[in-house]
Structure 1
Amino acid sequence: MSEKEFFDKDFVDEDWLSTPRRQEGEVDRRSVTTDPNKSRRKNRHPLLISLLICVGVILISIFSFKKSNFPILQIGFYTGKIESLNGNSIPLFAMRDKAGRKMLIWPLEKGWKASIVPVDVPAGSEEKSIDAISIKRQGEEFLLSGNESSKGRYEGAVGSSSKKAVGHWTLHLLDSNLIRTYENTETSDINWLALKTELDEIEAKLALSEKRIPEQQKEIEKLMSYIDEKESLKANAEKKYNDEKMRAEKLKEALVQKQSEMERLEQKVRLAYKVTEMGKLVSLARESLEKDKAWIQIMLGHNVETETPEFQEAYNKAKRIVTLKRQLAEEQERIYALLHPGEMKNSVEQTEAQ
């Protein structure tokens, strides 16, 4: 097949060639179609275009994103500073070991921790940076990123954990004449600095512990005061118990003494009735009662009519007289005892002495 035949077959529409030319303003009937499949294919084109635009924007965003990196330092020692970090200027020390496998970044201020970062870059690689380096201070974390500004000089930004810039750092390579020659042990300096960092951490913990000692001492004293108070309360309770026990025993003894004294006084009163004037009066009253009783018995012994009203009246009168005399004697006895307690006591004592 010739080139002309191939072109005529694949790119020339024979129907279009055979179709007569339209007059101006004439509408081509073939352009107005009622095929639904062909209409749907035409509607897909804007959707595909929008999708391609979105993919392009995403790819552009990915490739245009600049990751924060820290420059790979040359082998050697570096000094510099961190400025404008919380309004301070902090000395900064850095080094890369002789083998080139590790870098150390260390802010030279109390509370900061040294950061030892491995450098996993193959020999001959053109890689000039690694991920941003993290440094910490008492729970706070900061990220160092930057690049090489000139030969042997590096600088960059200090960012917080929220990626906000809070300062600026600089480092420059120290003159080899000012630094001692590396020893055969490649990581001796790294190890020493790591131990120094660990020592700083221990000192920080000790300082924190020393700061807490007064607080703990106060807590201990408070607990001891509770213990002492408990002991004192216990001692007071025991003392009070013993005091009450002794008081009860004394009251018991006093009660026994009072009972004994009451019995003794009762005996003295009985004896006093016999020797004092009041006692004589009581004795006479009793003798009178005995005589009345005897008279009544004599009267009853004679055959006197007891059924007569006169006798019953006399008998009841006599009983009342006897009862009243007895009550009178008892009442006089009580009154005299109340009015003359000393006389009763002296009389009893005189009687006992005789």
Structure 2
Amino acid sequence: MDRNKLHLFVKATRSVYGPVDESSEQDAAEWTPPDKPGAGGYRGRYLWTDAFGVVNFITLFKETGSHKFLSLAKRLVQTVHDVLGRTRDGSSRLTGATEDHPLNGGLRIGKDSATGPDGDGQYHHYLTLWMFALNRLSLAAGDPAYNELAIELAQAIHPHFLLRRPSGCLRMVWKISMDMEDVLVPSEGHLDAATGYVVYRLLQHTAQIQSGGQATVLKREIDEYSEIMHREGKLTPSGDTLDLGMGLWMCHFFKGEGWADGLGEKALQMGHRLLGEDSSLMRRDASRRLAFREFGACLGIQCFGPDEYLRRRIEAVVGFWEKHLRDHTDEDLRPISQVMYAAAVIPGAWSSGYLGE
């Protein structure tokens, strides 16, 4: 354990969730995540940021051996389900959900506005990230209930994001309404199908381990994601640093499979261009860069496996933002930037094999 990295990791976590490192075991078991500033978004909850928060707490649990961080992860999960799993006024669960099955209605993004081009709704790539967080918590805590919740969410959202045309051809959509009844953005996220394929396979694998059998849960959904992701031109690296990184992150779980190795190697080459010291992005002033997107690239490259050049470039990018993050990050983006900074410093539970699976 690198104590300096751990110090930076904890400092970033404190900036979003408060002085949790100082809490006792009892405090952690009764903790309520702050709503101001919290993770940003609606009532302090933003699904992407809190997914990173959960996984980062698991990293702290493994790095320190303190069970209080596992308790904090559980409390954050419960709060997200109680806020983003309900209507915006908090009066009821989302359509289709019940107290016994809280994720049957999906989870809201947590946008401040209810409507409009950047209004609330449900994003596929946020939901799959939350499933991953639940899966990691299930493994870390040795509790199948969290993976079962992730599977519940996976099954609930799938038919609303994957639609079959009259021709019989499958397509995906990027954003749906809070009640999952309407398509809000009909275009397809660049790697949404591949990410769904990876995360659903992880959920299936964990179900097999925890049940001691050959679980076939999510087989149909996995087959449908596979159908879309293997179409010509789908498995290509992105020139966007966040997309590039998250693509590498998902590929690293299945290194050794042709599709993952092929996409991963192309993405690493793109990483050389994007993060190279002579790239146009790296020459920009901090005010013209987005920290959290670059942290996504750093996380993904580390998970997949950087060469020595990329290792040095990751250190340079993280070091750059250690000097500029506070002064050159919009207040609304600070929570997401801080949790992703922590993951870039210590990938931890984001990495395959870290939890012994």
Q: Please tell me the TM-score bracket, short chain as reference.
A: under 0.3
Q: TM-score, normalised by structure 2?
A: 0.18
Larger Rg: 1
Q: TM-score, normalised by structure 1?
A: 0.18
Structure with more of its chain in strand, by fraction: 1
